[in-house]
Amino acid sequence: MRRLRLGMVGGGEGAFIGGVHRMAARLDGHWDLVAGSFQSDPDKSRDFGVSLGLAADRAYPDYQSMAQGEARRDDRIDAVAIVTPNATHHSIARAFLDAGIPVICDKPMTTSRADADDLARLVKKTGLPFVLTHNYSGYPMARQARAMIEAGELGAIRVIQAEYAQDWLATDQAGNKQADWRGDPSRAGPAGALGDIATHAFQLLEFVSGLQAEAISADLTTFIPGRKVDDNVSVLLRCAGGAKGMLWASQVATGAVNGLRLRIYGDKGGLEWAQETPETLLFTPLGQRQQVIRRGGAGVADAAAHATRIPGGHPEGYLEGFAQIYSDAAELIRAHHEDRAPHGFASLAPGVADGVRGLAFIEAAIASSASHGAWTPIN
């Protein structure tokens, strides 16, 4: 089976997420990085690409020349990974989709619902694969929880709670490259913690539960003086079927590191999962003792087993969850090349519809908060 050729836009020297994408793409042996436009300075982009082992003529000065140049090659890239600040996602994705090249895009997909809808229309028109790297949905125990809910083991869902707590922005981080662009609405869009981490919690909540939030009441707060975007998000949700939900995301939660947690309660049982202890899923059937389900252990669902790489007791986590999204993307793209249905569980990969949902959530939360928490539909 031919390894797929990957291009990358962004992720140059000092960029955290670019390195994560490159490691995740390599992990399962499906991808080779062969082209990129990594930085706005053409010389630095070329030098960085060469340092990664790329041919100098495929370390492009900008994404436009990369899209055009790769489209003309017989050995063109099979997909491009977009790992730039949020405000550039739309224009870059459009350039590569127009060139006939599938896209793997970091989240949020765009900075406006209008741009998200535009990409959705283009993906539908071209039929090209588009994958959004909501990597937490690639964790085996997240997929185990989804499978258990689909199988009816929790019964009718009543309550959903998602939270994502960090503290890395609990003080003014001026001069920190990662904080600077995330706090700049011209580069990150109008959402701070809302776009950066609350969208992860929202996508995971809907992915695992199988429910969609229909309306929300939101309160967005900026605790650090001078910060131009929110750093704390509190949301109530009304979900399809009558379930109620709560979502909290904060980047000023002192002492928290990467506290993504999910709790789902039905009339037959409840589930709890935490990203910082991702190997275990807690399941409590109504009136019975709590069960601990372990990644790689006996009795896990096929979807969880498929996403497991090493035996239980050898911890898997963040990179493997990210790698699962890249493996799913590889299968979607191979199926596209071969004009067939994808094998396995590749259809679980987040896509353009998740991107549209994310922007609908962001805009509804901003509107609700501006109206003092008025219930606002997610359309």
Q: Looking at residue 14, what is its pLDDT?
A: 85
Give the separation between CA 213 and CA 237, rounded to whole angstroms: 6
For the stretch 223-233, pLDDT in tens is 999 999 999 99
User: What mean pLDDT is predicted for residues 305-311?
Assistant: 94
Q: Looking at residue 1, what is its pLDDT?
A: 84
In this structure, how many other beta carbons lie within 10 angstroms of the beta carbon of residue 162? Answer: 26
Count CA within 13 A, CB hemisphere, residue 108. 32
In this structure, how many other beta carbons lie within 10 angstroms of the beta carbon of residue 147? Answer: 18
User: 76-96 burial, b for 16+ CB within 10 Å, e for fewer?
Assistant: bbbbbbbbbbbbbbbebbbbb
- Per-residue confidence band for 134, with pLDDT thresholds at 50, 70 and 90: very high
Identify the residue whose tokens are 């007791």: 313
For the stretch 190-229, pLDDT in tens is 999 999 999 999 999 999 999 999 999 999 999 999 999 9
Q: What is the pTM of this model?
A: 0.96
Q: Looking at residue 295, what is its pLDDT?
A: 96
DSSP 32-73: EEEEEE-SSSHHHHHHHHHHTT--GGGB-SSHHHHHHHHHT-
What would the CATH number be for the domain defined by 140-311+357-377? 3.30.360.10
Angle, helices 113-126 vs 89-98, to 10°: value is: 10
Q: Could you name the CATH architecture of 4-128?
A: 3-Layer(aba) Sandwich (3.40)
Residue 5: pLDDT above 90? yes
For the stretch 35-83, pLDDT in tens is 999 999 999 999 999 999 999 999 999 999 999 999 999 999 999 999 9
Residue 28: pLDDT above 90? yes
- Per-residue confidence band for 324, with pLDDT thresholds at 50, 70 and 90: very high
Q: Are 5 and 75 spatial neighbours (Cβ–Cβ below 8 Å)? A: yes
User: What mean pLDDT is predicted for residues 169-176?
Assistant: 94
Q: What is the mean pLDDT of the chain?
A: 97
CB proximity list for 85: less than 8 A, separation 6 or greater: 10, 181, 187, 188
The amino acid that residue 199 corresponds to is T
- In the chain, domain spans: 4-128, 140-311+357-377
CB proximity list for 162: less than 8 A, separation 6 or greater: 201, 202, 204, 205, 245, 246, 247, 248, 260, 261, 262, 263
Tokens of 369: 């908060």
User: What mean pLDDT is predicted for residues 316-339?
Assistant: 97
Tokens of 283: 């399941």
